[in-house]
């Protein structure tokens, strides 16, 4: 079979990213424009600003990617795009741009779920081996799936309220750290000495998670200490919070590995960049003799290469989208 070159577009949040991916695996070129320094001033992503910046940058990022690959649109076999979940205005920019390219250059269009993209990021440097358990930990999602085969998803459990990344970001804010807070909380936690023993939220027999209670516990702890004019060791708050937040994830992952046959634990989403989480998950995988698969940092955070990787099985199955494809901000995996 001839090589398949997919041009992939990702614009679901605050990164405008375009990649050319060969056979769902080899990243020929990728360019990403990140808006973090703009949103940082506001303490979070401002949706209107994000979509305007996607509009301004998307053509530039496409041209830079083609240039890096030394390719033209004539070399491309299909256009893949993230159509959800994410910020509606941001998604619409990518979807409409991809539809336009598809019409103008007469290429098939492939609609990709952003979260499935995070899972398939693992096919770039490694290979998904089924059956597997996959954990999605991002700013908007905390979910656990069992996958028997390519593109079959059984939801085991998910957060009942906040996502783990959202919780990291909120704790970062009360500790006076910049957006995005996750990496800053992780950095602070490394210097923490004392364990304040926050309780693990969903200490039960389900696969579900909860993070809003933990966030309130941290807030109450800080406020109580402030009222008593007691010193707060920020690093120890970060350390104690992280220990509990990660324990919540690990308890459920361990239950999933105990109750399912799996070759891999695949971790996806922005929070998978966290080293403490990686170390704790590795310990569990060692016990259950399961391979831990986590992409390297540049494929963990939002990027278009993962969208190209997730589009490839759809290309092989000729699962193409119609030109009336619309963005779906609340899109689910199943
Ligand atoms: O997947 P992602 O890039 O965007 C979506 O939510 O789709 O994930 C972003 C989230 C943010 O909440 C960010 O704070 C968190 O991932 N994050 C981290 C780390 N790096 C990013 N959380 C904890 N530790 C990190 N090192
Ligand atoms: Zn993401």
pLDDT band at 220 (very low <50, low <70, confident <90, very high): very high
Residue 44, pLDDT above cutoff 90: no
189, 181 contact by CB (below 8 A): no
Q: What is the pLDDT of residue 36?
A: 86
* Helices and strands (H and E) in the chain: how many: 12, 10
Residue 37 clears pLDDT 90, i.e. is over it: no
Task: Note the pLDDT of residue 40.
Answer: 85
The mean pLDDT of 274-286, rounded to a whole number, is 98
Nearest-10 Cα torsion for 61, 123, 266, 162: 20
What kind and span of H or E run contains 8? Answer: strand 5-10
Whether the predicted pLDDT of 150 surpasses 90: yes
Q: Is the CB of 24 under 6 A from ligand 1?
A: no
Q: Which pLDDT score, from 0 to 100, does residue 174 have?
A: 92
Per-residue pLDDT tens digits for 179-200: 889 999 999 999 998 999 999 9
Strand partners, 292: 265
Instruction: Kindly give, in sequence order, each residue whose CB lies less than 8 Å from that of residue 293, ignoring residues fewer than 6 positions away.
Output: 122, 126, 128, 132, 264, 265, 266, 267
Q: What is the pLDDT of residues 54-110, one digit of tens each?
A: 999 999 999 999 999 999 999 999 999 999 999 999 999 999 999 999 999 999 999
Supply the mean pLDDT for the chain.
96
Q: Quote the percentage of the chain above a pLDDT of 70.
A: 100
Pocket test for ligand 1, best of 121, 168, 332 (most atoms within 8 A of CB): 168
Strand partners, 209: 159
Distance between CA atoms of residues 144 and 155, nearest Å: 6
Partnered with residue 15 across adjacent β-strands are 34
CA angle at residue 14 from 9 to 16, to 5 degrees? 30
Our answer on whether the CB atom of 167 is closer than 6 Å to any ligand 1 atom is no
pLDDT at 19: 98
Stated pTM of the model? 0.93
Under 8 Å CB-to-CB from 41, ≥6 apart: which residues?
none
Q: Please report, in angstroms and rounded to a whole number, the separation of the first and last CA atoms in the chain.
A: 31
CB distance 238 to ligand 1 below 6 Å: no
How many CB atoms sit inside 10 A of residue 190's CB?
12
Q: Residue with structure tokens 């007691």? A: 230
pLDDT digits (tens, 9 = 90+) for 123-145: 999 999 999 999 999 999 999 99
Residue to mutate (ligand 1; options 248, 267, 270, 301; most atoms within 8 A of CB): 270
Pocket flag, ligand 1, residue 168 (CB < 6 Å):
yes
pLDDT band at 254 (very low <50, low <70, confident <90, very high): very high
CB count in 10 Å sphere of residue 326: 15
pLDDT of residue 179: 83
- Rounded CA-CA distance 159/161 in Å is 5
> Measuring from atom 23 of ligand 1, which residue has the nearest CA?
182
Distance (angstroms) between ligand 2 centre and the Cα of 226 equals 35
* Statement: residue 41 has pLDDT above 90: no
pLDDT at 316 over 90: yes
Nearest ligand, CA 45: 1
Indicate the pLDDT class of residue 42, thresholds 50, 70 and 90.
confident
Q: Which helix (H) or strand (E) holds 132?
A: strand 132-137
Helices (H), 141-274: 164-174, 181-189, 212-227, 234-259
């Amino acid at each position: 079979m001839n090589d398949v070159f997919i041009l992939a577009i990702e614009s679901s949040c605050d990164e405008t990213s375009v990649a050319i991916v060969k056979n769902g695996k080899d990243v020929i070129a990728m360019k990403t424009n990140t808006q973090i320094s703009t949103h940082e001033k506001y303490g979070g992503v401002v949706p209107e600003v994000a979509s305007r910046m996607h509009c301004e940058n998307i053509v530039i990022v496409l041209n830079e990617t083609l240039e890096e690959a030394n390719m033209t649109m004539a070399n491309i076999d299909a256009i893949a795009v993230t159509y959800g979940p994410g910020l509606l205005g941001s998604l619409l920019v990518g979807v409409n741009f991809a539809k336009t390219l598809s019409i103008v250059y007469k290429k098939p269009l492939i609609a990709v779920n952003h979260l499935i993209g995070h899972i398939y990021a693992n096919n770039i440097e490694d290979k998904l081996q089924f059956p597997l358990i996959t954990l999605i930990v991002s700013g908007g999602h905390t979910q656990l799936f069992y996958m028997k085969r390519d593109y079959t998803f059984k939801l085991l459990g998910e957060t009942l309220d906040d996502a783990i990344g959202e919780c990291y970001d909120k704790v970062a804010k009360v500790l006076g750290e910049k957006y995005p807070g996750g990496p800053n909380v992780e950095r602070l936690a490394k210097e923490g000495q004392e364990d304040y023993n926050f309780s693990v939220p969903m200490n039960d027999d389900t696969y579900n998670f909860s993070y809003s209670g933990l966030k309130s516990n941290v807030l109450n702890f800080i406020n109580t200490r402030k009222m008593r004019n007691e010193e707060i060791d920020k690093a120890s708050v970060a350390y104690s919070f992280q220990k509990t937040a990660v324990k919540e994830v690990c308890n459920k992952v361990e239950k999933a590995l105990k109750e399912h046959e799996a070759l891999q634990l695949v971790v996806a989403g922005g929070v998978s960049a966290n080293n403490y989480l990686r170390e704790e998950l590795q310990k569990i995988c060692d016990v259950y003799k399961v391979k831990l698969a986590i992409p390297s940092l540049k494929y963990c955070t939002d990027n278009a290469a993962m969208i190209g990787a997730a589009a490839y099985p759809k290309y092989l199955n000729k699962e193409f989208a119609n030109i009336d494809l619309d963005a779906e901000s609340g899109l689910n995996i199943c």
